[in-house]
Structure 1
Amino acid sequence: MFSLTPFTLLDYPHKTACIVWFAGCNMRCLYCYNPDIVLGKGKIDFTNVLNFLKTRKGLLDGVVLSGGECTLHQNITDFIKEIKTMGFAVKIDTNGSNPKILNSLIHDRLIDYVALDFKSLPHTFKHLTQSGLFSEFEESLSLLIESNIPFEVRTTFHSSLISEDDFVKMIQYLQTKNFEGNYYVQHFMNNVPTLSELDHSNKEIQHKNFSTPKIKVIFR
């Protein structure tokens, strides 16, 4: 694992939590804020994190597993089992590229909340993520919609990478998949280190209302 954030009130809805950041990712999103995590190596091991969590029993509600891409790590299932035995709720942040593991975690009731990244539609996905993993994302989305696990869909919006027209089509895509709930849109933060050099992103889109009767679009 790359690092540990010992306390957050922002990353797990309605819960106090810590964040475990996993090094490595199978995407190279042009706007990625965490190039040091995506390209880096692990600095702490599972034992260190579990020892930390033992000191937080009764103080934290949950643990967020983020990255990078946490589902890529071969010991992720055993690690989550250890966390659950301590009584913590578990949230994972995922790009949806590993539906097999996601399905296993859902089936074994090891996760309590999921934040799924919706990068873009197929025609821009490969350029934006430098990967060909859209069908895997699509399978992960379907798994979550069919499950009983609370989850959110979220997108990082950069005006040079996703047009407003494409964004509207992304909402329509979610409708065709029968997604209902909160769709969080994080506007790209200008002037931060990213994997690729990007122009400033125009923020006009966040002043418009894109919500539908079943999908609430929330800019944050």
Structure 2
Amino acid sequence: MVKKLIYSITPFTLLDYPDHTACILWFAGCNMRCSYCYNPEIVTGKGKIGFDAVISFLEKRKNLLDGVVFSGGECTMHKDLPYYASEVKRLGMKVKIDTNGSRPHVLEELLQEGLVDYVALDFKSLQEDFESITQSDFFEQFKESLEVLKGYDVPFEIRTTVHSNLINTEKLSKMASFLRDQGYKGKYYLQHFVSEKETIRILPYSKKPNLAFTDYPELEMVWRN
């Protein structure tokens, strides 16, 4: 029986892989339940598309797409991910991984084998808020994933979804301080929660915080919306 791990495919994006044309593979299932998650149907749903169908789709678009984004849900939950990444690389396309950082050993394997070209690592919150926001206890794994990424030359980014009821300006400042203390340098991407579709939990209106941090010259804090 062919495994069907992909919930759906976004056939084309210019936004999700910096400076590349790409498609997005949305892997079903997740080991977190973030209250602001706008993909509840993917997080709790089942896969609908087998990887043979994905390869057939990609073979027809080899001259149109630079890369493939493995997203979800949480793509690193799936044990065959290294094989999937190798098949995409075989087609001459680059691989970007979107991850919550809960499976650092999977990241390490992908990086060691040269199977990933870019990583987006979600920084959900600091440890004191992590369980209430994500309904999980993977903060230490997130820290380990950050350490793994710092040990390789593969480019990566850190990103945080901001809802003012969950992460206010003070907490964002502490998160930036945490990244600085961990030795991260570069862009820190922030995405303000916008209630445009169903989320895992109903949340009140979020007011976008005003940021004027000057204490962290190593970090460039960038709003994506």
1:218 is the counterpart of 2:218: no
For 1:140-179, what aligned pairs fall within 5 Å after superposition?
Answer: 140-179=145-184
Q: Return the letter of the residue paired with 1:166.
A: K
Q: Percent identity?
A: 53
Q: Return the letter of the residue paired with 1:218.
A: V
Per the TM alignment, residue 190 of structure 1 is displaced from its structure 2 partner at its CA by 2.2
Whether the aligned pair in 2 keeps the contact of 1:209 and 1:217 (CA below 8 Å) is no
TM-score norm. by structure 1 comes to 0.97
CA distance in structure 1 between the partners assigned to 2:50 and 2:21 by the alignment = 23
1:49 is the counterpart of 2:54: yes
Whether the aligned pair in 2 keeps the contact of 1:7 and 1:18 (CA below 8 Å) is yes
CA distance in structure 2 between the partners assigned to 1:175 and 1:208 by the alignment = 17
Per the TM alignment, residue 209 of structure 1 is displaced from its structure 2 partner at its CA by 2.8
RMSD: 0.9
**Paired position in structure 1 for 2:206:** 201
CA distance in structure 2 between the partners assigned to 1:132 and 1:15 by the alignment = 34
Deviation beyond 3 Å, 4+ runs, structure 1:
none
Q: Give the secondary-structure state (helix, strand or coil) at the position aligned to 1:83.
A: helix
Gaps (5+ residues) in structure 2? 1-5
Whether the aligned pair in 1 keeps the contact of 2:186 and 2:219 (CA below 8 Å) is yes
TM-score norm. by structure 2 comes to 0.95
CA distance in structure 2 between the partners assigned to 1:210 and 1:48 by the alignment = 47
Per the TM alignment, residue 146 of structure 1 is displaced from its structure 2 partner at its CA by 1.8
Q: Give the secondary-structure state (helix, strand or coil) at the position aligned to 1:179.
A: coil
**Paired position in structure 2 for 1:90:** 95
1:64 is the counterpart of 2:91: no
- Out of 84, 93, 114, the residue aligned to residue 119 of structure 2 is 114
Number of aligned residue pairs: 218
Q: Return the letter of the residue paired with 1:210.
A: F
**Paired position in structure 1 for 2:192:** 187
Gaps (5+ residues) in structure 1? none
Per the TM alignment, residue 208 of structure 1 is displaced from its structure 2 partner at its CA by 2.5
Whether the aligned pair in 1 keeps the contact of 2:62 and 2:91 (CA below 8 Å) is yes
